[in-house]
Each structure stands twice: as structure tokens, then as C-alpha cells.
Amino acid sequence: MSTGGPYMNRGLFTNCAASHALLVLSLMAVPAQSMECAADAAYEGPEPRTGAEIVFPSARIDISEAMAEGRAAILDAAFESVLTNTDAPAAAMAVWSPVYGYWSQSSGLDEDAPGSFWWASVGKLVTATLILELIEEEKLSLDERIDRWFPDYPQSALITVDDLLLHRSGVFSFQADEKLGKKRGYKPPAKLLQVSAGHGADFCPGSNWYYSNTGYLMLGLIVEAIEQEPLSEVVARRIAEPLGLDSLQLVTKGDPDELIVPPHNDPPTRVREIASLHGAGGVIAEPGDMLVFLNAVLTGRLYSSTARKSAFADLYPMFGSGMHYGRGVMLIDVLDPDTPTTWLGHVGGSPDSKAVLIYDAERDTYAALVLNKAAPGEAVVNVLLKAMDELP
């Protein structure tokens, strides 16, 4: 299992919550590759862009404002039509526009099926939001070295929290280990960190850019250590409950499979496998709740406008695709010849899922799409937004 883009028993936090993340690596010996690195190495990767030109939304969305029935029927038809090109057995989408209100639709679901899907790496936006909240509360700093929590991890005395957020850490991404990828079932954080550490550093911390799921697993463990409770409970307390998001949660290995629409696989990815991803992508939710969450991030309801500016301040090119990565956020240049625009948010995926959560800056519109099969979700969203442009 991978994510395009890892849980703890409550009893572990009874007496030693703050030291758990530190214990993860101090309990194991790892034969890591050696690499001579200096502190504060010069960055030599793809040139980042600044987010200084971004104009952020200010209005709070209300998903109780339903789109007019006739217009909704037009989008329903467009949604069903474009889904035929994805072969996804099940999908769900939600859109909010200040002009048309809220629209949502699903496909391929039984009447009694759960409404929550797995959002894969979109969950990194949740983890980064928690980190930025803790920084604002002065419980953490961007330039803090991670050897405080992971003393035995290679180069940990040189890696900063900011390096993890920006994917500039050089930390090997665990899903790239072929042997690990062939094993099904729950994988505890200690195992994933051990596998990552065994590969050694991809590059010296701060010197380059590469997407790392392990880095966001570490960030999730740091949140747990500081807050002294499991990440699932921190997500509930700091995000889901204040925003009234009943469906948004970080799954744990003990949660039932019936919580989610199963990803399309044989056998399908189970909740306990999704739980393995932890801070790197273990979030499930309904699309409407994800819209509200993104709106809260972009309008400063979860952290200040200063933190929001920081999230988008440094944006690194991703794989030459028009996508840029900041501190747990993405900026995507949509180079549609008819309606070019900019999206803010996050996308994710795996061999059996695809998720897109974005704010379209030109349209002032939010969209959330999730499919239980790998498919071009960005194209589906773009088609639906263009269909909205033509609504009467």
C-alpha cells in the first residue's frame, strides 16, 4: 500500500506519553548507510516559488445551503458521465460555490453503505495543521531538531521539524521499500521507522526535496508526544469537534472495516492497513466535511493568518507536474487552455484510491472528490468545475 502522495494503544500513554516517540527508535538497532552531512546544508534542489501572491478566501462556507434542484441535476449528469472514464466502482464528490451553494453526489454506493472514504495523503494536511497550531502555541518550533524524539534515526540531529513539513529532510519514504510493500496488514510506527532508517538518508537534510511519507509519520508522532494522547484523539479534539465534522477521523487499527467505503482491490485495503499510515495519511471522512475543513484552514479558523501565510510561503516543485508543495499544503497550476486557474489544498492516492481536496482561487469555489480506485481525479474535478461555469 502506498499513498501519493502509521497507532498506539491508549494504554501506552498512561505514564510515558511524552517519551513514546523517542522510545520508538531507541529500542532498535538499525544498520543505516553512512552519509557525511553538515548542519544547515545549502539547498541544491528544484527552485521553490513564493506564495506571496496568493489571495486567500475570507468567507466561511455553509454546506447546508443546497444548490437549486435544476442546477444540481445538471451536475449530477456531468458527474455520472465523467466517472465512466475512471472505472471507479464508487466515488463521492462535493462542491461549494458562493454563487450556487452546496452540491454533493455519490456513485456506486448501496443505500446503507458508509459515506466515509479514505483520503490517502490528503491526511497530511490534517497533520500539518496540528503542527502549525502547536508552533503558534509555542509548544514547538520549525527549526527544532528531531533528535529530541528520534535520537537513533540517521541524521536526526540535523533534521528540523520544518524539513519534515517541507519534504526536505532526506528521510527515506517507507512505502518505497519493495519488501515492506508486499506485506499486508497493520504495520506499527516502530516497524515503518526501522525500515526507513535501514535505508539511510536519501540526501543531506535541507539540501534537496523529495516526498516522504516517513516524514509525516514522524510529525504525527511528534504531535502525540507533545499532546500526550494518540493522534486520533488530537485530531478529534483540535479539528473534528470544533468544526462539527462528525465523519472526519483518523482511523486506528482497532476500528471496524465497515467505517469506510472499501478501496477497490483484491483483497481490499483494510482499515488496519490505513491506520498504519498514521500522520502520513490515515484520515477518513465524507466529502462535505473535508470542504469545511479546508475552508477552516484557508480562512484562519484553525490557526492564524500568519500561520496560513507560512504554510504557503515556500512552495517546492513536485515531479515537474505543475504541483508545488509547501508546509503540508499544495498549490496546483491548472493549465486548462480555456479556464486556467490555481488550486490550493492537497491531493492523494494509492493503487486503489484517489482523493482531491482543493480551493479554486479563480472561481472562489471548493471541491472535494474521492474515488475507491486510482484514477485521474484532478481531471474529474476540472470537468465538474467547468460544468458549473455553464450553469444557468
- Grid cell 458562493 — which residue? 98
pTM over 0.85: yes
| The predicted structure's pLDDT at residue 184 | 87
| The predicted structure's pLDDT at residue 11 | 24
Q: Please name the residues in contact with 108: beta carbons below 8 A apart, sequence gap of 6 or more.
A: 88, 89, 90, 91
Separation between Cα atoms, residue 51 and residue 193, nearest integer Å:
32
Q: Is residue 251 a contact partner of residue 236, using CB atoms and an 8 Å limit? A: no
Q: Is residue 6 a contact partner of residue 173, using CB atoms and an 8 Å limit? A: no
pLDDT less than 50: residues of the chain: 1-32
| The predicted structure's pLDDT at residue 33 | 52
| The predicted structure's pLDDT at residue 111 | 79
| The predicted structure's pLDDT at residue 301 | 95
Separation between Cα atoms, residue 7 and residue 24, nearest integer Å:
12
| The predicted structure's pLDDT at residue 18 | 32
Give 312's Cβ-side CA count (13 Å radius): 21
Q: Is residue 269 a contact partner of residue 262, using CB atoms and an 8 Å limit? A: yes
| The predicted structure's pLDDT at residue 15 | 28
| The predicted structure's pLDDT at residue 34 | 63
Q: Is residue 219 a contact partner of residue 165, using CB atoms and an 8 Å limit? A: yes
Q: Is residue 122 a contact partner of residue 354, using CB atoms and an 8 Å limit? A: no
Q: Please name the residues in contact with 189: beta carbons below 8 A apart, sequence gap of 6 or more.
A: 6, 7, 8, 24, 217, 221, 278
Separation between Cα atoms, residue 92 and residue 390, nearest integer Å:
21
Instruction: Provide, for the chain, the percentages of residues in helix, strand and coil under a 3-state DSSP scheme, each rounded to the nearest 5.
Output: 35, 15, 45
